[in-house]
Amino acid sequence: MSADLTNFTTETYLNPVYPHSFPDPFVLKFRGEYFAYCTDFWRDGRVFGVLRSRDLVNWTEVGGALQKLETDAPFYWAPEVTYANGKFYLYYSVGNEALMELRVAVSDRPEGGFVDSGKKLSTEDFAIDAHVFTDTDGQKYLFYATDFLRHSHIGTGTVVDKMTDFYTLEGNPRPVTRARFDWQVYDPNRKEKGGVRWHTVEGAFVLKRKGIYYEMFSGGNWQNITYGVSFAVTDDIERDEEWAQFSDGEKVLPILRTIPDLVVGPGHNSVIRGINNRELYCVYHRWTENGRTLAIDRMDFAAQRIFIKGATNTPQIAPFKPVFADFFDGETLNENWQSTGDWKISNNEIINEFAEESHLQFASESKSFLCEVYLRAIETAARTSAFGFSLFDETGETFKFLILPDSNLAVIYGTDWTETFELPEDFEASAFHLLRVEYDARVIKISLDEANFRFEKSLKASANSIVLVAENMRAGFSAFTLTKGFEDLFDWQDAEIERRGWQKSSEAGDCHVKNGELFLSNKTETDAILTKGEAAENFEFAVNLRLTETFGENTASGFLILNYKDEEIYRLALEGEPGNFYLSIGGDLRQKFSLPEGFAPENYHQFRFLKLNEELFLQLEDFELGAISLSEGKTRIALFCRNSGIALETVRLTIL
């Protein structure tokens, strides 16, 4: 049966989400809101149009971000904005098209008011599409596009240079991706360049996952059917050699590309987390009668491969909401909070009055959750001032993370231990900072502004609620969101399997973790079963899985659908042969869900199970397999193998 997901939710979107001209879109998320920026002049005479949204789907026009420079340069291209310590830095290119330079402007707010810094970053005659990437160690890099006139494939390619500060490059740009394939041809006889066969690789956006760097880029000419977005990878951002490209345009196509008669010229993308802070969305433009318009589509990883569920031209489920979100835009405190001390709401922020200790507590009632909140110091009284968060269980406080604004330190308290960390020298406690907390089966991960501070530890005590804390000071908290569920990347050691919440049956012959993979195998005709996570009414369960080995003839592997008592309802077994693989359901249903022709069980693929009400939808990456009707309420997904072995690279459960 077909999987018409829109029958089960009224919240959908249709691309383009902003159907007016908005070329080269970049989206920044700040204090729970999205700010989109685009190329060229805006209707108010300023440059770089700005849109604003809380859900990535419904956008409001704000105005232009930057006043035109006092030059006659007619072109302003590809703005990108990064935030640090209360300042927003807008990187852009400006010039006459033949000559383009990179510059940076600064503002104290994301929606506009940017003023050019007077700083030119680039030295090349042609430099465009600046993108700032901050590594996990805090080092910043600028990726941009420039021309290569002596390369085997003449044209525009991308480079990377270290940043010594927000206004200065090290001055040692290294090639990242230059043209290698015919799909990257922009013009086979470009007159402006002397009639040469001209290639284009541009629009870099960089991600890091499990130690691998990914540069997404656009290649070719939007008017050609071969145009699209692909990516290149490396495990060393400092390498001198070019990164390894994924798409050759023939055997392996770009991951986002033109669909004849439906979608034209999708490209120049950025990537942003969805409103539950778990999903990833590819933001890009596509050509319509109104020019290049704004579109979004879900994206993800299948091991070291990026895939995008798009470009879509039919209704799609809107970004999943968190279990709880508070923008603090009401007059009174939301009833889900329990508070001690005096708290007041002002300008989408909740602020405490001076007290020895002020608490705002939210009960997650889950063994695994993801929480994000923005926080800042407003007024301190002494070196004893501190703010941050605590975790609680039924017995009381089990964990605390505090920022000491007058000492520039972070202090973490466990049940019987304390650790102190120095924050970066330029850390401004009075500016908003993003605190991200992941709690999963007693393992906690903390990041502050993604890279300013990172911490991970397995705790002895449990937690079922999170508390915002201010001690001997006034602090502000903004845009609190909590999403139930977990994401496991298996970046840990064997001994932690059960401590990480995984439950394995006694028949599991071998279960271990190595190099970011969890391996499960069994050489008997009894199912080895692996489970993690709570049963729920509505959820999305995603797993990156591959078949590692088989033993004998009676082999089977796949998925079990369990009820809240962990009783098997259905099993989906992977069966078939090259070119004809499918998921088979036995019992009363006896259905087969055909997998795409290129499916290879020995390679990683992402299976997704989306339960909405009484339907369970099956997906393989961007391919919808079908749906199963379930009369059961709370259910969950388990993995099994028999006379075989499987490997898992990522498992993610999101409670909806």
Residue at 164: amino acid letter: T
Q: How far apart are CA 511 and CA 520, in angstroms?
A: 5
**Structure token pair of residue 390:** 């605590």
Q: Is the pLDDT of residue 458 over 60?
A: yes
Q: Check residue 404 and give its pLDDT.
A: 97
pLDDT above 70: percentage of residues in the chain: 98
Q: Is the pLDDT of residue 8 over 60?
A: no
Q: Check residue 34 and give its pLDDT.
A: 98
Q: Check residue 245 and give its pLDDT.
A: 98
557-597 per-position pLDDT tens digit: 999 999 999 999 999 999 999 889 999 997 667 789 999 99
Return the sign of the alpha-carbon dihedral for residues 402, 403, 405, 408. Answer: positive
Q: Tell me 424's DSSP state.
A: P
Q: Check residue 587 and give its pLDDT.
A: 64
Backbone dihedral region for residue 53 (phi beyond 0: left; psi -120 to 50: alpha; all else: beta): beta
Q: Check residue 586 and give its pLDDT.
A: 75
Q: How far apart are CA 299 and CA 229, in angstroms?
A: 12
Q: Check residue 6 and give its pLDDT.
A: 44
Q: Check residue 506 and give its pLDDT.
A: 77
pTM for this predicted structure: 0.96
Q: How far apart are CA 233 and CA 75, in angstroms?
A: 31
Q: Tell me 595's DSSP state.
A: P
- Within 10 Å of residue 261's Cβ, how many Cβ atoms? 7
Instruction: Find how far residue 245's CA is from the centre of its chain.
Output: 21
Q: Check residue 588 and give its pLDDT.
A: 66
Q: Is the pLDDT of residue 9 over 60?
A: no
33-80 per-position pLDDT tens digit: 999 999 999 999 999 999 999 999 999 999 999 999 999 999 999 999
Q: Check residue 656 and give its pLDDT.
A: 94
Phi, psi of 496 (to 5 degrees): -95, 5
Return the sign of the alpha-carbon dihedral for residues 387, 364, 489, 30. Answer: negative
Average pLDDT over residues 235-241: 96
Q: Check residue 5 and give its pLDDT.
A: 47
Q: Check residue 493 and give its pLDDT.
A: 78
Average pLDDT over residues 258-274: 97
Closest CA to 586 of 575, 572, 576: 572
Q: Say if CB 79 and CB 26 are below 8 A apart.
A: yes
Closest CA to 365 of 221, 464, 453: 464
Q: Check residue 525 and give its pLDDT.
A: 87
Q: How far apart are CA 137 and CA 146, in angstroms?
A: 27
Per-residue DSSP letters for 64-103? EEEPPPSS---EEEEEEEEEETTEEEEEEEEESSSSEEEE
Q: Check residue 10 and give its pLDDT.
A: 58
**Structure token pair of residue 133:** 């990437």
**Structure token pair of residue 349:** 């922020």
413-430 per-position pLDDT tens digit: 998 999 999 999 999 999
Q: Say if CB 253 and CB 266 are below 8 A apart.
A: no
Closest CA to 406 of 351, 473, 503: 473
How far from 31 is each of 373, 433, 627, CA to CA, in Å?
8, 9, 37
Cis peptide leading into 596, omega within 30 of 0?
no
Instruction: Find how far residue 612's CA is from the centre of its chain.
Output: 23
Average pLDDT over residues 247-253: 96
381-395 per-position pLDDT tens digit: 878 899 999 999 988
Per-residue DSSP letters for 404-416? ETTTTEEEEE-SS
The three state secondary structure string of 229-244 is EEEEEECCCCCCCCCE
CB half-sphere exposure, 159, CA atoms < 13 A: 22
Task: Determine how β-strand 155-165 pairs with β-strand 196-209.
Answer: parallel
